[in-house]
């Protein structure tokens, strides 16, 4: 068996292990180790298993991941973001579907201190869905809106997915953050347009609540947003002002979140312990997946399967548009079954050479991948954000109803994705301007 044949056999084994529901990190490590063993021998395989995990986990940029995760979990457990929805509700209630619009904007604000799609959905689901149900919003609209609004969490910086992509693709994380701003804001505007259009067509989906907040209530609600505003100014002001690096920004943000929680009177050691525990567990899972992806990258390079696959795709002669559509279909399919980080790290070793060879910018591709992965968070049968919302609402709304609620937004996601592909400048303008 040649190296290329062995490479494809190991990729087949990897897909089989994932289909058997073995954790993706363990699947990557096991398949890659077996491939290295068959290709280079037992001693070399163990040597790679000893060296590559260290090289990946010792990457200095990776240290920002647990800090940004801690920032998000502290903000969640200390309830620092609840004022965002109240302020948006006070100012936007007069719009068609005003509470749903407020949920989208509240999620966009929470995204700026979280970087996690799941955390956005869980937080806004706990706050916004009960409010909309009490206001007699249709359950499908209420739950579907919050499920899709959570996907903004990975697009608006800071984003854990973008950090990991930057490490693997060797793209500056600051540029990815800047590129993600336009994609995140465009997504938020698109979701708001869907809500307003649906309510205009069918006012019964979101009855007019009748009461309107007066000026005093609006200003009082606006004052409740100071925790998030302070954290955002601290992170982005220092980051884009050159005071500290993206790696240091996570630690600054986590420290600011703890300080704001103390000032707000929400800090408690049990909540802080929960935030630390969830940060450690999530970071550990991400590192295991990252180590497995690094092992797979090394194996594909040594076997020649990666180069053979990318060269074969490019030699087909497909146009760049056909290539990017094919890549999008791959991610949309994987998003139905795999969690985002695993899907990204599983595919990047194979797709990055193809994308680079086709002449696409890796910065732009990073934002496209992030958008595709977030679409996967709301697609059946394993839309993670949908199940997060189901866990929040319990038996009030069925899982099928939540999936039906996101269908309109999925159409808008595909429109936004097409716009980002057709007009790359939407992504690259800010990085060029600040660069």
User: Using CA atoms, how far apart are residues 173 and 163, in angstroms rounded to an integer?
Assistant: 6
Kindly report the average pLDDT of the chain as a whole number: 83
Residue 2 — very low, low, confident or very high, per pLDDT cuts 50/70/90?
A: confident
For the cut 80, the answer to whether the pLDDT of residue 364 exceeds it is: yes
Query: Would you tell me how many other CB atoms lie within 10 Å of the CB of residue 94?
Result: 10
For the cut 90, the answer to whether the pLDDT of residue 225 exceeds it is: no
pLDDT at 435: 63
Task: Give the DSSP per-residue string, 130-169.
Answer: HHHHHTT--HHHHHHHHHHHGGGGGTSSS-HHHHHHHHHH
Query: Would you tell me how many other CB atoms lie within 10 Å of the CB of residue 59?
Result: 14
pLDDT at 313: 66
Task: Return the top range by mean pLDDT from 67-81, 120-134, 240-254, 364-378.
Answer: 364-378
User: pTM of the full predicted structure?
Assistant: 0.84
- The SS3 of residue 198 is helix
At 269, list the tokens: 């050691």
Torsion of CA 223, 226, 229, 233, to 10 degrees: 120
User: Using CA atoms, how far apart are residues 11 and 300, in angstroms rounded to an integer?
Assistant: 9
Q: What is the mean pLDDT of residues 319-334?
A: 83
Q: What is the mean pLDDT of residues 11-37?
A: 85
pLDDT at 106: 83
Residue listed under structure tokens 């400048």: 425
Residue 211 — very low, low, confident or very high, per pLDDT cuts 50/70/90?
A: low
Q: Is there a contact between 153 and 378 (Cβ–Cβ < 8 Å)?
A: no
| Residue predicted with more confidence, 10 or 224 | 10
Q: Tens digit of pLDDT for each residue in 385-412?
A: 888 888 877 777 888 888 898 998 999 9
What are the structural domain ranges in the chain? 59-267+304-434
Q: Tens digit of pLDDT for each residue in 61-85?
A: 778 888 888 887 888 788 777 777 7
Q: Is there a contact between 80 and 260 (Cβ–Cβ < 8 Å)?
A: yes
Q: What is the mean pLDDT of residues 182-186?
A: 91
Torsion of CA 401, 406, 411, 416, to 10 degrees: 180
pLDDT at 245: 78
Query: Would you tell me how many other CB atoms lie within 10 Å of the CB of residue 99?
Result: 26
Report the alpha-carbon angle 365-297-50, nearest 5: 135
3-state SS of 294-349?
HHHHHHHHHHCHHHHHHHHHHHCCCCHHHHHHHHHHHHHHHHCCCCHHHHHHHHHH
Q: Is there a contact between 332 and 31 (Cβ–Cβ < 8 Å)?
A: no
Q: Tens digit of pLDDT for each residue in 115-172?
A: 677 777 877 777 788 888 888 889 999 999 988 988 888 888 888 889 889 988 889 8
pLDDT at 370: 92
């Amino acid at each position: 068996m040649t190296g290329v044949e062995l490479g494809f056999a190991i990729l087949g084994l990897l897909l089989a292990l994932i289909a058997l529901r073995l954790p993706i990190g363990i699947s990557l490590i096991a398949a890659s180790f077996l491939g290295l063993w068959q290709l280079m021998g037992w001693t070399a395989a163990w040597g790679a298993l000893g060296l590559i995990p260290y090289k990946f986990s010792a990457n200095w940029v990776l240290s920002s991941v647990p800090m940004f995760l801690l920032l998000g979990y502290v903000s969640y457990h200390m309830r620092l973001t609840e004022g965002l929805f109240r302020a948006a509700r006070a100012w936007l209630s007069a719009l068609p579907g005003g509470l749903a619009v407020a949920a989208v904007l509240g999620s966009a604000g929470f995204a700026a201190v979280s970087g996690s799609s799941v955390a956005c959905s869980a937080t806004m689901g706990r706050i916004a869905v009960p409010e909309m149900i009490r206001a007699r919003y249709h359950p499908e609209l209420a739950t579907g809106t919050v499920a899709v609004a959570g996907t903004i969490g990975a697009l608006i910086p800071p984003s854990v997915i973008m950090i990991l992509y930057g490490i693997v693709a060797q793209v500056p994380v600051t540029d990815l953050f800047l590129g993600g701003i336009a994609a995140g804001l465009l997504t938020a505007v698109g979701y708001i347009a869907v809500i307003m259009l649906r309510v205009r067509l069918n006012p019964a989906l979101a009855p007019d609540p009748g009461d309107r907040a007066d000026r005093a209530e609006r200003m009082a609600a606006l004052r409740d947003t100071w925790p998030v505003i302070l954290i955002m100014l601290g992170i982005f002001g220092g980051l884009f002002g050159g005071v500290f690096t993206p790696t240091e920004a996570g630690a600054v943000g986590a420290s600011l979140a703890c300080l704001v929680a103390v000032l707000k009177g929400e800090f408690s050691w049990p909540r802080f312990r929960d935030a630390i525990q969830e940060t450690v567990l999530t970071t550990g899972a991400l590192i295991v997946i990252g180590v497995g992806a690094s092992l797979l990258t090394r194996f594909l390079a040594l076997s020649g399967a990666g180069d053979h696959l990318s060269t074969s795709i490019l030699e087909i002669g497909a146009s760049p548009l056909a290539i990017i559509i094919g890549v999008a279909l791959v991610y949309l399919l994987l998003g139905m079954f795999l969690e985002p980080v695993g899907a990204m790290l599983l595919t990047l070793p194979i797709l990055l050479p193809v994308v680079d060879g086709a002449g696409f910018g890796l910065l732009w591709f990073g934002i496209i991948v992030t958008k595709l992965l977030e679409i996967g968070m709301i697609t059946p049968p394993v839309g993670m954000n949908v199940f997060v919302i189901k866990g929040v609402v319990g038996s009030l709304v069925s899982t099928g109803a939540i999936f039906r609620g996101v269908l309109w937004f999925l159409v808008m996601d595909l429109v936004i994705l097409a716009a980002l592909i057709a007009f790359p400048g939407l992504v690259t303008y800010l990085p060029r301007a600040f660069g």
